[in-house]
Each structure stands twice: as C-alpha cells, then as structure tokens.
C-alpha cells in the first residue's frame, strides 16, 4: 500500500514510518504545509501533523483551527481510500469515571481538543474508510518533550533538568503507552479500515500515578529524582485510564509499555 504520512519527522511519525516500512508498505512522507502543499496520489493517509500545545491554543485558537481542521479537510479532499487520524483523549474533556471507553461523550475543554473533535467529525462524515486513534500519554523512544512526565523525570534524574514539578500529592493517575506500541496501532488501523465505516479507538496501556512514575524512575536509573511540590490544579481529573478493549479486538496488544520498559527506554536515550 502506498501511504502518505504527515508529521513523518516527528516523535510519533518516525516510529509510524518505521513500522509501515517493516510491514511492507511504501511510505510517502508529506512535504510542506498541510493547508497548501500538493497531496500526491496514495492508497492511504496517516495524518499526524498538528498544532498540539494546549496553553498555546488558548492564545491562538484560530491558528489551531486553521492547521488542525482545515489541514485535515484538505487531506480528506484528496480522496484516499483509507484515512487514519491521530486524535487525543482531550476530546473527552473532564470525564465522569476513571475508565474511558470510546462511547464516552466528547466535551473538549480547550481549543486544541476542540479542533481534534472537529477533525474527527470531518473524518467520520467524509472518509471512505476512516479511523481515529485517541492517544493517551505517549512515552519512551527518545522523547524530547520535557513537558511529558516520564521524559521530565528522566531529565531530572540525569541532572539535565533541575527538578520535576509535582502538582498535588502525586496520586493522580494517567495512562501511558510506549510510542512504538502506538505506532503499531496506526499500522493496524490502516490495514483493517473498512469501506463505509469510521471507527475510533483508544490507545493506552499502563495506568500509573505520578508517585509510581517517580519511584520507577529512581529504581531504573539508580538516581534520585528531585521534586518540587506545587498545589494541585483546580478541577484536575484524578484518574484517567484507557479502555482498549476495542483496539485489542483488532489484534493489537502493547509489547513495550510496562512502566519499567518505558522508563528504561527513555533513560537510555537520556544518557
């Protein structure tokens, strides 16, 4: 299959390209601005490119709509038979209950998440065979984004960063998935897409608290993780876990997403 990949040079994109090639697909990295560049003929599109900073989206909501929504519309107009969109758990907003299924109402609470919900709708209504993957917390694989918990914990352990800021008592739980396991989900989603259907899938693997991440980082690295305590964010969701039953029914299962494996892999890159 000839597959166009936007965001192919990014953190997730590089791994998606690697796994598509390993599965025997011809990858066409998308070059240029998704709003204006030519879309070459292809059998499928994996759309990863987006503006993704939540705080920045409040300052520049129109830019986020322009890139994340209009860019998706332009790719959809190319008419590829299969279309896979990278989305976010942010579309769920502030969920009721700790475990999220794909049927949970979408109530985005920031412009970034709202643009992803709009992009999801466009895929659902117009793609010949569309798939939406709602990513939980990507980690491991040499992540360079110090806003992510595991990356920052390893950076603090190495001394590259001064400390890890912890908001609240450290009991908040989030769901982590190794970036390579997430990449495998994209390949599977592309290969199993069916004409006339659009499906959404959660992509998560390992729920863990902030305190558990710190303990694991100290155990794996053999070094202390300096911590600075901050007040908890008002209204923060205490626990977010991914129900991945639907994705697993396609044959997906995480291979590298235990907390120890993710931290060890990120630590190897940090060193």
DSSP alpha helix (H) spans, 91-196 = 111-126, 149-158, 179-192
Question: Which of 14, 130, 6, 151 shows the shortest CA–CA distance to 68?
Answer: 6
What are the backbone dihedrals phi and psi of residue 166, each rounded to the nearest 5 degrees, phi first?
Answer: -120, 120
**Helices 11-22 + 179-192 axis angle, to 10:** 50
How many Cα neighbours within 13 Å face the side chain of 225?
26
Mark whether 112 is an active-site residue.
yes
C-alpha distances in Å from residue 240, one per residue of 71, 97, 99, 121, 173:
29, 8, 6, 23, 6
Query: Which sign, positive or negative, has the C-alpha torsion 204, 209, 210, 211?
Result: negative
CB of 116 closer than 8 Å to CB of 61: no
Burial of residue 235 (CB within 10 Å: 0-12, 13-18, 19+) is: exposed
In this structure, the strands spanning 198-203 and 26-29 are unpaired
C-alpha distances in Å from residue 253, one per residue of 176, 185, 249:
14, 9, 9
Q: Which of 64, 65, 92, 112 is an active site residue?
A: 112
Active-site positions read 112
């Amino acid at each position: 299959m000839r597959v166009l990949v936007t965001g192919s040079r990014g953190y997730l994109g590089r791994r998606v390209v690697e796994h598509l090639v390993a599965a025997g697909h011809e990858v066409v990295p998308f070059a240029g601005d998704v709003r204006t560049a030519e879309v070459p003929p292809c059998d499928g599109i994996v759309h990863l490119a987006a503006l993704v900073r939540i705080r920045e989206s409040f300052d520049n909501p129109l830019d986020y709509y322009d890139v994340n929504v209009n860019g998706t519309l332009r790719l959809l107009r190319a008419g590829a038979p299969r279309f896979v969109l990278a989305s976010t758990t942010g579309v769920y907003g502030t969920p009721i209950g700790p475990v999220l299924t794909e049927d949970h109402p979408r109530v985005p609470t920031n412009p970034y998440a709202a643009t992803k919900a709009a992009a999801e709708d466009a895929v659902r209504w117009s793609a010949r065979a569309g798939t939406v993957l709602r990513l939980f917390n990507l980690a491991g694989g040499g992540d360079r984004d110090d806003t992510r918990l595991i990356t920052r914990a390893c950076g603090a352990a190495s001394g590259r960063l001064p400390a890890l800021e912890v908001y609240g008592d450290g009991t908040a739980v989030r769901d982590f998935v190794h970036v390579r396991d997430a990449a495998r989900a994209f390949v599977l989603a592309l290969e199993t897409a069916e004409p006339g259907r659009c499906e959404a899938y959660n992509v998560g693997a390992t729920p863990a608290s902030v305190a558990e991440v710190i303990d694991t980082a100290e155990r794996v690295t053999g070094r202390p993780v300096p911590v600075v305590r901050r007040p908890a964010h008002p209204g923060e969701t205490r626990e977010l876990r991914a129900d991945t039953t639907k994705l697993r029914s396609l044959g997906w299962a995480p291979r590298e997403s235990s907390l120890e494996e993710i931290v060890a892999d990120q630590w190897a890159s940090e060193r």
